[in-house]
Structure 1
Amino acid sequence: MLIEDGVIHIDSFLAVTMGIIVLFVGRRLNQVVGFLKEFSIPEPVSGGIVFSVLFALFHMATSLEVSFDLMARDVLLVYFFTTIGINASLGDLMKGGKPLIILLAITVGYMLIQNLTGITVATAFGLEPVAGLLSGTVSLIGGHGTAIAWAPRIQEEFGLNTAMEIGIASATFGLILASIMGGPIAKFLIKRHDLKPAEDQALDVGVADDKPEPKITSYDFLDAMLAIHTCIIVGVFLNEGVEYLGLQLPLFVTCLFAGIILSNIVPHNYPRITGTTWPANKPAVALIADMSLGAFLAMS
């Protein structure tokens, strides 16, 4: 930690440590405050808002700014999306059929509405139209990860110096409002149709709370990490290839595609150097996804 020119610089190690603290504070808040759990407010958001207010009060009292080295956060972002790619199955996607097509059409329609609304409001307030895009699908559909990944590019191309702040704020408020509005609606629909979760379906992120924790050995964890790192290496090469073609994509996007490609071309029973099969939909991958997402959102 270094104090220079009225700015407190917090290195990557301390930033990760504080992110973990934020996550646990959010978890405790969700356990104590009923409406946070009732409306499914994510733990990183609960803890993050508290720390954001504390840092704001600290800045008002001391006039000091706090700057975090968030390089580790960006690595966690890549980890998370890579695990999502590893767990993606084109076979399961094809089973979606007509309901999936309807959902896709509705989603695309609302994406257009989001962007048009964002651009209109931004223009009305005399802001760059691209600020409206950051407050539209970039943050509301893509979430924190997409907003953080695209903000530097938008800042560079359009000179919007507050791109990161706009993207993160929009994603955070979108997450909160979606939980407040979507939670009661989802609860109503679940009760109305008496919906039950599939007992034998593996989770993409985390493990079921009402079931015994699955046994994950150190080798299971390292096996999953090896698969993730393999996908990231392929994703880096894909990113360079896309850049060579004149396109700019965030690294997490190509790593996501790398995970999807490898998971769908590598036979699930194909033996690897680890002596195990490809770890798609295994508890170790879900655990890493849960850890990465929680710490990433808390730091954001």
Structure 2
Amino acid sequence: MKPEIIALNGYYTLIAATIVLLIGRLLVQRIKFFQNFNIPEPVAGGLLAAFILSIVYSTTGHSFAIEKPLQDAFMLIFFASIGLSADFSRLKQGGMPLVIFLVIVSVFIVIQNLVGVGMASAMGQNPLFGLITGSITLTGGHGTGAAYGKILTERYGIANATDIAMIAATYGLVSGGLIGGPVARRLVNKMGRKPVEQTVEVDSKGSYDNQTFESAGHQRLITATSAIETMAMFAACLAFSSIMIKTFPDFKLPQFVWALGFGVVLRNVLTTVFKFDMFDRAIDVFGNASLSLFLAMALMSMKLWQLADMAGPMLAILAVQTVVMIFYAYWVTARFMGNDYDAAVLAAGHCGFGLGATPTAVANMQSITNTFGSSHKAFLIVPLVGAFFIDLVNMAILDRMMAWFGTAL
């Protein structure tokens, strides 16, 4: 039988993603290893799906392609939910810890790039290859990797830069989800903190419950009216982000930043100017569901046979980057953020977006807080820094480093 790519339309992509999530939940519930290391459910189910699909590919030559726009839509909805939850009156709570955390992760971006460039040069590779296996894909993710991959190919002649970036970003997404839980778990165990007893709570209708993204299993009352209002706001954020990307194609901000930013503006205009009663519980539920579906789709579409074919230098750099992230999160992030429980959750989040993406960071933190209790501080700081500020810092650092090393070639 002739090998072919089997394309899954939107319906089958959604069905496959939900099955992956249900299997992931079952794996985490039944396998002690996943519980002990706080592996997020989308990561557990997604990796299993990726292995199964790799076996199918190796035996039959058939591969599967999911509905990419659907995956992107769930990613945008998640980031829009962060923006729609960003009440300016609550953002002030971040204060100095938010600034300190931003400085910590900014320093790590520089270290990440220096490690990549240094190892690439030592192995006789183009120094810019080190940036692809540095913050372009690890801190930046797939979107930044795609954008800079095109630039590196067109301006600096690095062949297949975009393909390399996609593989590196996928590696980072998986490794970021795998190491965040264990790093935080070790920090928490050293503190002697015990798991909290999980109770099912149901919110009554009323004011903001201060639980956004922290407790994915926390039950929240949602009416049909609030669901429709929330979907309308998400639609506005996605539409605005699409218009801005098409209107300003040369502007380097990824689309999810536009969605997040417009969510912040929309939220505060509606609540401040029009005194709109924002239903945060609906935003929370839609955001958490979109987060899980996005991660499931991203991981089940991963082509492990491409990872197996990666060049030795790339594997070596990515492996070292993972070790550097572990040590930095454990010894620097946690220490400078206070060396307490909140700092441990922040370290898990840093592992998530320092190697993968903000959704991975949130999933890492949820896996910890679901066991050891909530961390309002971490869930206020990480989404803001990981999904908004750090992209601006990363782009500024990358542009400077590309100018330095590009000129040196």
TM-score, normalised to structure 2, is 0.61
Residue in 1 that maps onto 2:45:
47
Alignment CA distance shift 1:114-1:90 (3 Å):
farther
Alignment CA distance shift 1:150-1:107 (3 Å):
closer
* Match 1:175 to one of 168, 177, 180: 177
* Match 2:230 to one of 221, 224, 239: 224
CA positional deviation for 1:208: 5.8
Distance 2:121 2:173 in 1: 20
CA positional deviation for 1:150: 2.5
Residue in 1 that maps onto 2:258:
254
CA positional deviation for 1:149: 1.8
Instruction: Check conservation: 2:3, 2:61, Cα contact below 8 A.
Output: no
Residue in 1 that maps onto 2:297:
299
Alignment CA distance shift 1:222-1:35 (3 Å):
same
Distance 2:30 2:114 in 1: 39
Task: For residue 271 of structure 2, give the secondary structure of its aligned residue in structure 1.
Answer: coil
Distance 1:227 1:205 in 2: 18
Task: For residue 8 of structure 1, give the secondary structure of its aligned residue in structure 2.
Answer: strand
Q: Which amino acid aligns with 1:48?
A: G
Instruction: Check conservation: 2:137, 2:145, Cα contact below 8 A.
Output: no
Bigger share in helix: 2
* Match 1:28 to one of 26, 29, 34: 26
Residue in 1 that maps onto 2:212:
204
Instruction: Check conservation: 2:132, 2:164, Cα contact below 8 A.
Output: no
Instruction: Check conservation: 1:149, 1:250, Cα contact below 8 A.
Output: yes
Instruction: Check conservation: 2:137, 2:166, Cα contact below 8 A.
Output: no
Residue in 2 that maps onto 1:82:
80
Alignment CA distance shift 1:54-1:106 (3 Å):
same
CA positional deviation for 1:125: 4.5
Alignment CA distance shift 1:180-1:206 (3 Å):
closer
CA positional deviation for 1:156: 2.6
1:86-97 equivalences under 5 Å are: 86-97=84-95
Distance 1:112 1:35 in 2: 34
Instruction: Check conservation: 2:25, 2:41, Cα contact below 8 A.
Output: yes
Residue in 1 that maps onto 2:311:
none
CA positional deviation for 1:127: 5.1
CA positional deviation for 1:270: 2.7
1:289 aligns with 2:265: no
Task: For residue 191 of structure 1, give the secondary structure of its aligned residue in structure 2.
Answer: coil
1:153 aligns with 2:147: yes
Task: For residue 6 of structure 2, give the secondary structure of its aligned residue in structure 1.
Answer: strand
Percentage of matched positions with identical amino acids: 25
What is the total number of aligned residue pairs between the two structures? 279
Instruction: Check conservation: 1:131, 1:163, Cα contact below 8 A.
Output: no
What are the ranges of 5 or more consecutive residues in structure 1 without an aligned counterpart?
A: none
TM-score, normalised to structure 1, is 0.81
Alignment CA distance shift 1:219-1:190 (3 Å):
farther
Cα RMSD for the two superposed structures: 2.8
Distance 1:227 1:190 in 2: 43
CA positional deviation for 1:116: 1.7
Distance 1:278 1:258 in 2: 15
Instruction: Check conservation: 1:206, 1:287, Cα contact below 8 A.
Output: no
CA positional deviation for 1:93: 2.8
Instruction: Check conservation: 2:133, 2:165, Cα contact below 8 A.
Output: no
CA positional deviation for 1:40: 1.9
CA positional deviation for 1:128: 5.2
CA positional deviation for 1:23: 0.9
Distance 1:22 1:133 in 2: 33
CA positional deviation for 1:176: 0.8
Q: Residue by residue, what CA displacement relative to the aligned partner does 1:110-130 show, whole Å, maximum 9, x if unpaired?
A: 121122223333444555555
Distance 2:47 2:225 in 1: 37
Distance 2:78 2:285 in 1: 10
What are the ranges of 5 or more consecutive residues in structure 2 without an aligned counterpart?
A: 154-159, 197-202, 299-409
CA positional deviation for 1:63: 2.3
CA positional deviation for 1:203: 2.3
Q: Residue by residue, what CA displacement relative to the aligned partner does 1:59-103 show, whole Å, maximum 9, x if unpaired?
A: 111122333332200111111100011111333333333333222
Residue in 2 that maps onto 1:277:
277
Instruction: Check conservation: 1:27, 1:47, Cα contact below 8 A.
Output: yes
